[in-house]
Every structure is written in structure tokens, then in C-alpha cells.
């Protein structure tokens, strides 16, 4: 049942991510790690959802158990950094940018050629712009 989807193509992990339920996330991933690689109708993984909601502890849990999940992109070609920048989730952005294995995400372009910095600026997320531009005063 861990991989079963509803009419929105959400799995139980998508809901745990949306609600910020860390313990449920752990248990679901213990049952079947492959659920971290499943997408909803918009090709968002549970990792995209936790980036959008601003839950770095849940990101860490998913990545710890499923290290390749950070490479997933949604139907717009957006990474977790794109999503966090667009939504102004500074804590997620800082967490992501501290990880050496995710260094390249800062230069990744979505399907329209936008980097995380472009999205942060377009959506008026000026704190995100400062983080992505390397403002050391933050």
C-alpha cells in the first residue's frame, strides 16, 4: 500500500511530506524506498513537496535513504532548489547549498531556461535572491 496512489496520484509519502510528518516519512521509506521516486500528476516527488513546504529535516531523511532523489525534476524541469527559491524557503535553500553533492543545482536550468536565481527574482523572493547571489551577511 505504500506505493498506492489516489486520484491526484499522491502516495502516502506525498501526504506525509505535505503535512511535515517526519516519523511517517521514516516509516514509509523503511517499507519501500522506491516511493521517494514516484511523481504526482505534476511530476512532483515528495522531495519537491518538502522543499516547497520548507522542511529541511524531512529532506535530509529522504536523501539519507534515497541519495539519488535530489536529482529528480518536476514536469517543468525544476529541481528542489528551484522550488525552494520560488517559494522563498530560505532554510531549505541554505541546507541545499551547504551540501557539496548539490553544488551544481545552483546552475541548473528548468525547461524555460530559468535557474533558481531567475525564479527567486521573478517571484519576488528577495531573500532567496541574496542567498543565491552569495550574500554572506545572511
CA atoms of 93 and 85, how far apart (whole Å): 7
What phi, psi does 21 have (nearest 5°)? Answer: -95, 95
Furthest-apart CA atoms within the chain: distance in Å: 47
Q: pTM value?
A: 0.90
Q: What is the dihedral of CA 124, 125, 130, 133, to 10 degrees?
A: -80
Is 136's pLDDT higher than 60? Answer: no
Domain ranges of the chain: 12-132
Q: Tell me: domain 12-132, CATH 3.50.50.60, correct?
A: no
What's the mean pLDDT when you consider all of the chain?
93
Is 117's pLDDT higher than 50? Answer: yes
Amino acid at each position: 500500500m505504500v506505493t498506492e496512489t489516489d486520484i491526484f496520484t499522491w502516495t502516502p509519502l506525498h501526504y506525509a511530506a505535505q503535512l511535515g510528518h517526519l516519523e511517517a516519512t521514516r516509516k514509509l521509506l523503511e517499507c519501500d524506498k522506491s516511493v521517494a521516486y514516484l511523481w504526482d500528476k505534476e511530476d512532483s516527488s515528495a522531495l519537491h513537496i518538502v522543499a516547497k513546504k520548507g522542511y529541511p529535516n524531512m529532506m535530509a531523511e529522504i536523501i539519507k535513504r534515497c541519495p539519488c532523489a535530489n536529482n529528480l525534476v518536476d514536469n517543468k524541469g525544476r529541481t528542489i532548489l528551484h522550488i525552494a527559491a520560488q517559494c522563498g524557503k530560505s532554510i531549505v535553500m541554505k541546507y541545499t547549498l551547504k551540501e557539496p553533492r548539490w553544488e551544481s543545482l545552483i546552475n541548473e536550468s528548468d525547461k524555460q531556461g530559468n535557474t533558481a536565481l531567475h525564479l527567486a527574482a521573478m517571484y519576488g523572493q528577495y531573500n532567496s535572491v541574496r542567498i543565491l547571489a552569495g550574500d554572506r551577511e545572511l
